[in-house]
Structures are given as C-alpha cells and as structure tokens.
Amino acid sequence: MSASNPLFGDLLLKLGVVSPGQVQEALALQALTGQRVGEALISLGYVSREQIQDALGEALGLNQEKGPAQPPLGELLVGLKYVTLAQLGESLTRQRRDGRRLGEILVEQGHCTYKQIYEALGLQNRIAGRQDLPRPAMEGRRRVVVVDDSPLACAFVQEGLVALGYEVLCFQDPYEALEGMSRLQPAIVLSDLEMPGLDGVELCRRLKEGPRSAIPIIVLTANDREAERVRGLRAGADDYVNKSASMDELAARIESVVRRTGETERMRKLFARYTSDAVVEEILKSADAAVLAGEKREVTVLFADIRNFTGLAESLPPEQVVAVLNQVLGRLSDAVLTCGGTLDKFLGDGLMAVFGAPVGRSDDALRGLQCAKMMMEAFVELRAVAESEWVAHGREGRPLVLELGVGLNSGVVVSGNIGSALRAEYTCIGDAVNVAARLCALAGPGEILVGERTRELVNANETAFEDLPPVRLKGKQQPVPLYRAL
C-alpha cells in the first residue's frame, strides 16, 4: 500500500498508540478470530475505542487540531517496569472476564501499588495533554471535593468516582480548596493527610471551625500508622480510608458518612430553634444524652409573662406593637439561651423555658434562677431606653411601663416530641409545669416566685429567698410552699 494509505497497525505505531509487539499480538489474534486489528487491540486491552476513533480520524485527515493520543495504562506500567508482560496479560484476561478496572486488578494481585498506578495515570495525562477542569454542577449527583497535592492521586480518585456516578472536583492546593468551600458546597471532602504547607489535619481543623463545619471529611492516606489515623480523626475527620482501598469501598464509606452526618445536621437544625449552640453540641456529641421519643426526667420550668402589655397594645399601632413585643421577647430568649436553657414556646406576651431537657446538668435549677434574674435586669434596661425615647420625642407624662412576672418550679416531667404526624414540637408536660405556670400568674410586677423543690436544689448556693405563706393552687389538695427570690 502507498504511504498515503498506510496499514492501520502502522498508523497506530506512527501515532505512538501501540508498540510493535502489541501490533504483532493483535495480528496473531486476528488470524485466529478474524477480528479487525483495532478490535483485536481493544480485546487485548492495549487501546480504547476512543483511541481507535482518533486513529481513524487521523487517517482521514480529520484530527489536525487534536493533541497526542492517550497511551494505554498497561503499556505505561510495563514501560515503567512496574509490571511484567506476563503480569499484564494475566490481569487483562481477568479484566475481560470480570469487567473491572485494570489498575484495581493489578493491585489486588500484588503486581504493583496504587502509588505506581497514580504515577502511570499522571504520565498518561501528560502525554495526552489532558487537563482536569472543574465541572459544572451535575443534577442528582453528589459533589465530592478531593484535596491532594499529588495530581496523580487526584486523577485516580476522580476517574474512579466519576465512573460510579459522582461529580468530583480536585484541588492540589488546600488553601484554594478552603476558599472555595462556601461556593462549591460539596456533599463531602476527601483529603490527603500528608501535604506540604497545610496538611490534612490542619485542613480538617480549619474546615470544622469555619462556617462550613457541617461538611463531612474523609481522610485518604497511604500512611497506615495508627497515630496518623488518630490525629486526623481528632482534628474532626468523619472517617479514614487507606489509599489501597478499592473504589467500591471508598464509595460505600462516602455514602455511610453522608447518611450519618445528614442525620446529625437534621438534629442540629431541629434543636437550634429551641436551645443554645452549646446544648445542641452536647446533644450531638452523645446520642444517649437526649431521648426525643419521650422520657421522665427532673427539670426546672420557667414561665415569664409581661405585665401591662395589653394596655400598651391598645395605645400603639399594630406594627409598633409587634416591634415592641419582638424586642422584649428577644431579650427574654437571649437570657434563656445564655443560661443553657431550652426555649419551649412563646405564649403571646410571655414564654416557657425548660432547664434540664433535652440535656440535663447538675445545676439546672440554679441556671433557671439566674435566667429569671437576667430577665429582670433586661426589663430595667428596656424601661430606661423607653423613657429616654419618650423624653427625646418631647412627649408629656410618662410612658406606660412594662413589667415582668416569673414563676420557677422543679420536678419530674415527661419530655419529648409531642404532637401529630404533620406537626410536632419538643416540650415537657406534667404537674411541675402546671405549678410553674400558676406561680407565674401569682407573681407581681418584678417578682420571681419559686417552688419548694427549686429552692432545695439551689439552697447550697446560698441564694437568698423570702418565705411566703403557702398558697392553694388549682388541682392541688394541699397548700403549696412558696418563696420569693431576692
């Protein structure tokens, strides 16, 4: 044949796609099976169908602007002397039978390491001039961010996970990865442990302490020392996977961690509406600390009610009434959260708070009393602001003064998510709750009334109380001891 119409095998040799020995093997297989040379080379695992198509395009003069073809992985491993031809042939036979990746089979059989696979993949990409650019978001796929200073490692993980249906973005620079987290919002981060400048431990720590702390992290490393694993996990990593693990195992770990952290984030959002960040973290650290289905526990219940609010509401336009109420309830809520309580519910112009559920502490009664006193201090400040604004606007007389009454009581209650399938809320019910509500109703302006059990629990702290005559409460056969907090 003329040079302008070369044999297909010669064309592949010219393009550097195959070696002379591989062409000879393909010709021998062709003689046995009747396959075309290209099909025989694909069957032997020396080329991909894309490389054959590129070669055909070259023969027809259609690929003038294409870069060099990508050499087969097996050929590169043999050329780098990481595997022998016999080992490659054995693995290719298994690949044709099982349909698995050549690299995984070679490592599984002990013919080479993943590190050597990474090096060969990197060389393959450099020969082909391929660049892994960030991909646009893919609907329905989990976005995985891989951080590894080795482009070879990134390429191997990316190729494996993309084949399993993930969207993968790779970063060799951990600082660049940190900067992009808020923008990319990945489902999970896979980070190498040993990187120059900013290692995986520090990356974990910074990510967990930043605004994207909910993003789970899996540490990937070839270092299997226990001390290194512990270091990564203590820095906030959610799991640890050795780089020698298969892609199927890595994918299974990813799904497990995403499910686990997703449930954690659901719990965080649920309790963030009720209680302080510190209490939420306690709940998340110990799954046994909070029982949502329902349990009996001793708590301290606080009811706070704004006095004179009805008269104020009648004298102001509706939008101003809402603004004043939000301002006052905001200060009361801040006191509850500051003292580590749980904001149970708003009650029109008041609220109910619980100390001791869903997480209990030994000083819950004292925390409840401190919260009540903080509320009274907040009202003093609010009244001072209201009076100064009244004067500033040149109004005559004095503004209508808002006051606060608080009732505190401790006892055993039933706590849990209570309601219907469509709408439920975490709350406490029981006699201790009813008594606290009735003490709040009895409290005068600026007064904190306390039940007997609450006084017993805080007495060791030498808090001053004034004994008041016992009172009869609805639903109680005997008079209830009563105290005023000073």
Confidence of residue 377 (pLDDT cuts 50, 70, 90): very high
Burial of 395 (0-12, 13-18, 19+ CB in 10 A): exposed
Per-residue confidence (pLDDT) for residue 365, from 0 to 100: 95
CA distance 185 to 165: 18
pLDDT over 70 (residue 455): yes
Mean of pLDDT values over 48-62: 60
Residue range 143-270, CATH number: 3.40.50.2300
Mean of pLDDT values over 42-64: 63
Most confident of 66-80, 349-363, 438-452: 438-452
Per-residue confidence (pLDDT) for residue 53, from 0 to 100: 65
The percentage of residues in the chain with a pLDDT greater than 90, rounded to a whole number, is 27
Average pLDDT, the chain: 80
The percentage of residues in the chain with a pLDDT greater than 70, rounded to a whole number, is 78
Per-residue confidence (pLDDT) for residue 64, from 0 to 100: 44
Per-residue confidence (pLDDT) for residue 350, from 0 to 100: 93
Higher per-residue pLDDT: 390 or 61: 390
CA distance 317 to 336: 29
Query: Which tens digit of pLDDT belongs to each residue from 162-177?
Result: 989 999 999 988 888 8
Per-residue confidence (pLDDT) for residue 67, from 0 to 100: 47
Reduced to 3 states (helix: H, G, I; strand: E, B; else coil), residue 486 is coil
pLDDT over 50 (residue 1): no
pLDDT over 90 (residue 378): yes
Residue 172 token pair: 């060799």
Residue 252 token pair: 């299974």
Mean of pLDDT values over 244-264: 85
Mean of pLDDT values over 46-58: 66
Reduced to 3 states (helix: H, G, I; strand: E, B; else coil), residue 180 is helix
Higher per-residue pLDDT: 180 or 352: 352
Per-residue confidence (pLDDT) for residue 286, from 0 to 100: 58
Lowest mean pLDDT of 23-37, 46-60, 393-407, 455-469, name the range.
46-60
Query: Which tens digit of pLDDT belongs to each residue from 207-225?
Result: 888 777 789 999 987 766 7
Per CATH, 143-270 and 285-485 having the same topology is answered: no
Neighbours of 101 (CB within 10 A): 18
Per-residue confidence (pLDDT) for residue 125, from 0 to 100: 63
Per-residue confidence (pLDDT) for residue 272, from 0 to 100: 65
Residue range 285-485, CATH number: 3.30.70.1230
Per-residue confidence (pLDDT) for residue 396, from 0 to 100: 59
Higher per-residue pLDDT: 405 or 427: 405
Higher per-residue pLDDT: 367 or 93: 367
Per-residue confidence (pLDDT) for residue 400, from 0 to 100: 66
pLDDT over 70 (residue 66): no
Confidence of residue 433 (pLDDT cuts 50, 70, 90): very high
Residue 82 token pair: 């990481």
Do 398 and 367 form a contact (C-beta atoms < 8 A)?
no
CA distance 223 to 200: 12
250 CB-side CA count, 13 A: 30
pLDDT over 50 (residue 133): no
Per-residue confidence (pLDDT) for residue 176, from 0 to 100: 85
Per-residue confidence (pLDDT) for residue 282, from 0 to 100: 59
Query: Which tens digit of pLDDT belongs to each residue from 267-312?
Result: 666 666 666 665 666 566 655 555 566 789 999 999 999 998 888 8
pLDDT over 50 (residue 87): yes
Confidence of residue 398 (pLDDT cuts 50, 70, 90): low
Per-residue confidence (pLDDT) for residue 190, from 0 to 100: 94
Confidence of residue 188 (pLDDT cuts 50, 70, 90): very high
CA distance 204 to 412: 42
- For the chain, the structural domain boundaries read 1-68, 143-270, 285-485
pLDDT over 60 (residue 60): no
Helical spans, DSSP H, in 66-209: 73-79, 85-98, 102-108, 114-128, 151-163, 174-184, 200-209
